[in-house]
């Protein structure tokens, strides 16, 4: 009889210990969740911050030297089509064509919370196109999550360019990244062409 009591007493003690350990673990987990304010790990997802229309209108107007009304018309057009950008490039470029064209440029890439990055671009085009121009280019970048992703080729069709508020706007796309250059400059260039721009860390003489 004493042996049976001893066994039952030991089982009860073990059960109480396991129950206490379980409760302690649950309490600890609850305290951890309460202190973090979330049930999921807190880490940097890598998603880039975006720019508002007001921020882009001010930056475009200041850089291109145009009125806020002209900049606003171009920015509103792009925002209606694409939404808020994750970055932008402010730079200068020159281009010319007689059937076959070339374009070269240089600028600075800006992204919130990231260091400013110098970038160059160059590329060929072909089509019914003639003339030449020098311009300032303010390029809105969409779905660009980190600066180095800019270094690739972006096909584009110049013939689909829009003229909004006296500024030229067209789109270039590679994978999920879309670029929307807004140009203001001097010169004469007429026609339509297809081609691409390759963005690089260093200036390249050969555009291919």
By the 8 A CB rule, do 119 and 104 touch?
no
Position 57 pLDDT exceeds 60: yes
Per-residue pLDDT tens over the stretch 78-97 = 999 999 999 999 999 887 76
What is the third-level CATH fold of 53-200?
Lipocalin (2.40.128)
Q: Between residues 160 and 48, which one has the greater pLDDT?
A: 48
List the chain domain ranges. Answer: 1-43, 53-200
Q: Choose the weakest-confidence range: 62-76, 114-128, 193-207.
A: 193-207
Both structure tokens of 119: 């970038």
Band of residue 4 on the pLDDT scale cut at 50, 70, 90: very low
pLDDT > 50? residue 77: yes
Residue carrying structure tokens 């229309």: 53
CA atoms of 139 and 178, how far apart (whole Å):
10
Whether the Cβ atoms of residue 89 and residue 108 lie closer than 8 Å to each other: yes
Least-confidence region, from 11-25, 63-77, 162-176, 179-193: 11-25
């Amino acid at each position: 009889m004493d042996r049976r009591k001893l066994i039952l007493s030991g089982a009860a003690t073990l059960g109480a210990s396991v129950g206490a350990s379980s409760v302690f673990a649950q309490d600890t987990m609850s305290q951890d969740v309460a202190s973090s304010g979330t049930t999921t790990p807190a880490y940097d997802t890598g998603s880039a911050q975006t720019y508002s229309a007001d921020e882009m209108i001010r930056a475009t107007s200041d850089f291109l030297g145009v009125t806020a009304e002209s900049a606003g018309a171009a920015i509103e057009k792009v925002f209606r089509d694409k939404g808020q950008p994750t970055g932008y490039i402010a730079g200068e470029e020159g281009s010319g064509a007689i059937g076959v064209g070339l374009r070269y440029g240089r600028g600075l890439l800006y992204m919130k919370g990231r260091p400013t990055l110098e970038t160059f671009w160059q590329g060929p085009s072909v089509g019914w196109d003639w003339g030449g121009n020098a311009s300032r280019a303010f390029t809105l970048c969409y779905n660009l999550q980190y600066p180095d992703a800019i270094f690739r080729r972006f096909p584009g069709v110049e013939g689909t360019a829009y003229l909004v508020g006296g500024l030229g706007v067209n789109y270039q796309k590679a994978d999920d990244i879309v670029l929307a250059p807004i140009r203001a400059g001097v010169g004469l260039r007429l026609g339509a062409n297809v081609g691409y721009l390759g963005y690089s860390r260093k200036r390249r003489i050969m555009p291919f």
